[in-house]
Structure 1
């Protein structure tokens, strides 16, 4: 089977059913269901996945390889720019001003915003798969996207 028509491994829909004890907090215990989607060369693939736990049907899109690479490049550029902004802001905040005192509060706000944006863009750079749909960022009605190999409930 050519690689362009082979299902992409590791796309799963997780439905949180309970919470189990963890070392410091309760950890969610999901049931995992595969998302039957294949990457199409030069096109965005669309598929519906039905949650085996609650029966809800969710729609997903999987971008082509070239578009996924472009998204990863965008996240990488954003990561580099915000990391540089954070470094420059930190330098300006710590370096004395013309009168010998540290710079003002606006630089302090830059020290708060730039690391947060750098963290989020770096996270997206490393996690970008080109898959879009409900549950991608924070979950959707008890559902979340999982990538990678998860053996639980897979048949």
Structure 2
């Protein structure tokens, strides 16, 4: 790599990292605010919202939706199930398969919960032109893909 390319690469790396750090800091502050509400973590709130939209999912399907390994998701599901926020239902055709369904307490918690994103972010996002909302979302999704390990990006692992 030539010196010019290295400098350019370093500049991009620094700028990308600084932007990610600002996003991370803002997300952490908001996560603390969210967790003060009803003791739900942002991840738990996300899981409940996904179940509200999708109606029922298997644990492996839900793990993909929320970007967690099934093993990591297991403990979160147990805590939510223990609080009556979700329930499991056996599949009638395949008794090995269990469906996750939003429980009454989960529905109630969602009705009272603050949004996953701060109001000012939602308002600013909504005020953007549609093309810019799509571009921003596409950029965030693409950035997330870039950070995946190569074996994850190819569907392995």
Which structure's relative contact order is higher, taking Cα pairs within 8 Å and 6+ residues apart?
1
- Higher helix share goes to which structure? 2
Q: TM-score, normalised by structure 2?
A: 0.26
Q: TM-score, normalised by structure 1?
A: 0.26
- Higher strand share goes to which structure? 1
